[in-house]
Amino acid sequence: MRERALNKWLIGAPPLLYLVVFFAIPTLIMVAASFRYAGDFGGLAPVFERSEDGGTTLNLTLENYQRFFSDALYAQLFLKSFGYAVLTTVFCLLIGYPLAMLIARSPKRHRDLLVLLVILPFWSNFLIRVYAWMIILGPQSVFVAAFNSLIGLAGLQPMRLLFTPFAVVVGLVYVHLPFMVLPLYANLEKHDPALLDAAQDLGASAWQRFWRVTFPLSLPGVFAGGALVFIPAFGIFAIPDILGGTTGIMIGNVIKQQFLDTRDWPFGSVLSMILTLTAIALAAATAWYARRERALA
């Protein structure tokens, strides 16, 4: 038994140590940074300040949080990012649900291939996938030309698509779609087809079979997929940075700005903290809801 305990440490300690040093501690430092003052030349001011009479004072403050809550600009930005992430989640669900359903209902031997086809684009570089939309929505794009001549028929002025909130949401949906499809598929695949047959025998229409049997049963998958899409979409900065122009910026862009341009690290930390806490709260709420659903079922 002694040997077992020793092995446990020999095997478990190196990765644990690495993750403590390069993940847990940096995260805690960031939490602490949100209560510190900004340095004179950016970065962080020292926590302890030696005064002239030899004593030291502790330099911590709530100012950064006050700044966040006193300026409506930041709350608006959070709300806007929240809205984009919600839209993204909804569109991923609308596009991903039929896809997941089709895969779950196709013959077993095809399923693995169909799932792989959903994952494959996800493994290509993230920037490439965003860049692709820059081409598609760009001013020289044949798609935009076609779109504009189409809305021209309806008497509308040609529209610019790139560097708009629309482009941001399209990019977000594109990048996050697999995160929605996979949990949905994992759920739908487990459904017992006999339930649908029973519903049909009892006279349920196709729509009723979907809305009253399949969909309620798939809710845990919907919530899991929703969380997997929403959380990364909420904090993203590269997509709005590339596709959003000035009107499409999100909270992630402001965090990036605080850290790399303005170099106000304490305030950047406050924004990151609030972002993360929101994400964790939502994930916890989703998990709680999913567990309750399961318990009720």
Partner 1 sequence: MKRRSLWLWAAAVLAYVFLYAPLVIVVVYSFNDSRLNAQWVGFTLDWYRKLFADEEMLTAARNSLVIGLVASIVSTALGTMAGYAMYRYKLRLLPILVVAPIAIPEILMGVSLLIFFVGINLTLGLISITLAHIAFCIGFVAIVVRSRLAGMDESLVEAARDLGATPWGAFRLITLPLIMPGVIAGALMAFTLSIDDFVVTYFTAGADALTLPLKIYTMVKISVTPEVNAVSTLLMLLTLALIVVASRLAPGALRGR
Give whichever of 11 and 295 is closer to partner 1, judged by the CB atom.
11
CA-to-CA separations, 94 to 130, 172, 235, in angstroms, rounded: 21, 14, 22
Least separation in angstroms between CB 126 and partner 1? 6
134 contacts 46 by C-beta, under 8 angstroms: no
Position 131: which residue type? Y
Least separation in angstroms between CB 153 and partner 1? 22
Tell me: does residue 148 bind partner 1 (CB under 8 A): no
Of positions 35, 74, 163, 259, contacts partner 1 by CB under 8 A: 259
Residues in the chain: 297
Tell me: does residue 245 bind partner 1 (CB under 8 A): no
Of positions 184, 213, 274, 275, contacts partner 1 by CB under 8 A: 275
Residues 35-64, one symbol each (x = binds partner 1 by CB under 8 A, - = not), give --------xx--------------------
Using CB under 8 A, which residues numbered 208 to 237 contact partner 1?
231-232, 234-237
87 contacts 166 by C-beta, under 8 angstroms: no
Using CB under 8 A, which residues numbered 72 to 101 contact partner 1?
95-96, 98-99, 101
Least separation in angstroms between CB 55 and partner 1? 25
* Structure tokens given for 213: 């049997």
Stretch that binds partner 1, among 49-57, 65-73, 249-257, 288-296 (CB under 8 A): 249-257
Using CB under 8 A, which residues numbered 165 to 194 contact partner 1?
174, 177, 182
Least separation in angstroms between CB 118 and partner 1? 7
A 10 A CB-CB count for 48 gives 8
Phi, psi (rounded to 5 degrees) for 139: -65, -25
Least separation in angstroms between CB 54 and partner 1? 26
Judged by CB under 8 A, how many residues of this single chain contact partner 1? 83
Contacts of 214 by beta carbon, 8 Å cutoff, 6+ apart: 101, 188, 191, 196
Give whichever of 102 and 156 is closer to partner 1, judged by the CB atom.
102
Helix segments in the chain, DSSP class H: 2-19, 25-33, 63-70, 72-105, 108-123, 126-137, 142-153, 165-188, 193-201, 206-209, 215-234, 238-243, 251-256, 265-296
Residues 102-141, one symbol each (x = binds partner 1 by CB under 8 A, - = not), give xx-x------x--xxxxxxx-xxxxxxxxxxxxxx-x-xx
* Structure tokens given for 235: 């904090």
Euclidean distance between CA atoms 158 and 145, whole angstroms: 9
Least separation in angstroms between CB 158 and partner 1? 16
36 - beta bridge partners? Answer: 60
Tell me: does residue 3 bind partner 1 (CB under 8 A): yes
